[in-house]
Amino acid sequence: MPENASQPPPAADAPVMPLQGLRVVDVSSFLAGPFCSTQLAEFGAEVIKLELPVVGDPLRKFGSVHACGETLPWLSECRNKKLATLDLRKPEGAAILKRMCAEADVLVENFQPGTMERWGLGWDVMKEINPRLVMVRISGYGQTGPYSGRPGFGRIGNAFGGLSYLAGYPDRPPVTPGSATIPDYLAGLYGALGVMMALRARDITGRGQMIDIGLYEPIFRILDEIAPAYQTRGYVRERMGPGTVNVVPHSHYPTKDGRWVAIACTSDKIFARLAAAMGVPETAGEGKWGVVKQRDADRAAVDDFVAAWTGRFTRDEVLAVCEEAQVPCGPVYSIAEIFEDPQYAARGNIARVQDDRLGELAIPNVVPRLSDTPGAVKWLGPAMGAHNDEVYRGWLKLPDEEIARLTAAQVI
């Protein structure tokens, strides 16, 4: 158990969780920071999420509203957390956070750079309070650089990171690449990864550290060869619709029943399998499209040829032929089809969580899958201040009169 943790040990018959004993204080809002701490909570960390009294986290008002009064993103992405209210803008609220962080292992925040410093809660202060603390800081552009003071959201991260420029067709404006929240989720993912590495380093050095992530940085990181291709040959990749640079056929293709399949021929060998399955083996090998350079040079014709073939069959027929030939092929699914798919069911990818306020709610399950110490969804995003008593009376040992005074002053 980490040195700073003060939680009681789990019961002897309780399942082992890889992060049990880890205490995380989450003062972030909306999505990127909260997703970081959610992943830690899924694997056993005690996460205390703090939000403004009365007002609450903006995520409570973002997305579809359930009949219980909470939004679906809140219920899903605030899973497994203990909820308390605290106004960090007030000196007494900042002092309470310092008390918490003196005993915590991790602090997560995603305010605009300089905000925590104005409240007297910057990294320079927090590391003195607790030298073993790990502090995750997620912002639009990171804590440094000429743009660090600018506000940022996921859409800006997609645009500034280079992904939006690639999304869509070459003769049309750039589109949203799947979801405007991709940078938030990726930044949260990298934040959780950073926590794991920082805790491992702490095991060696005895010291915590600060993790600094700009929303655009995970986007830029995943754009495969785009940076070295530009640096070495001045190549600026343009929008390609569903196509993929350097390989073809590697796109989405229509089927006879009005559906779509994704086919990925990432090598000449795989294309040869597809060509044989299509009944045109002569186009592969020594044929006109046998090597990737030939196919890339004739990209439109190759894609049209494959589309004409898939268009003769239903989606399930194309999938069956490709599976038999060991050609990577998958359905382009809507969420309705995901709910009916046996692979999703067999893997338990959709968690169905019971909640006293709303009954059952289906949400994405925990990733990754650990064989011996798996994560779990224990509860959905709680009501505002649901754990105030546990945090302030149970953990910080504040007397009743002090809790009443702070509540009346809307500090908690």
Catalytic residues: 184
Place of tokens 């949260």: 188
Q: Beta strand 260-264 with 329-331: parallel, antiparallel or unpaired?
A: antiparallel
Residue type, 97: L
Residue type, 408: A
Q: Beta strand 260-264 with 250-254: parallel, antiparallel or unpaired?
A: antiparallel
* DSSP 8-state class, residue 65: B
Burial class (CB in 10 A: 0-12, 13-18, 19+), 255: buried
In whole angstroms, give the CA distance from residue 214 to residue 187.
7
Check if the beta carbon of residue 42 is closer than 8 Å to that of residue 367.
Answer: no
List, in order, residues 6 or more apart from 363 with CB less than 8 Å away: 75, 76, 79, 350, 351, 353, 377, 380
Query: Which H helix or E strand runs over 125?
Result: helix 123-129
List, in order, residues 6 or more apart from 410 with CB less than 8 Å away: 53, 54, 87
Query: Which H helix or E strand runs over 226?
Result: helix 226-233
**Residue whose C-alpha is closest to residue 196's, from 304, 62, 44:** 44
**Residue whose C-alpha is closest to residue 167's, from 178, 180, 177:** 177
What does the buried/exposed string (b/e) look like for 187-213 if buried means 16 or more CB atoms within 10 Å of the residue's CB? bbbbbbebbeebbeebeeeeebbbbbb
Q: Is the peptide bond before 368 cis (omega within 30 degrees of 0)?
A: yes
CA distances (Å), origin 404, targets 48, 95, 196, 313, 398:
20, 17, 38, 69, 10
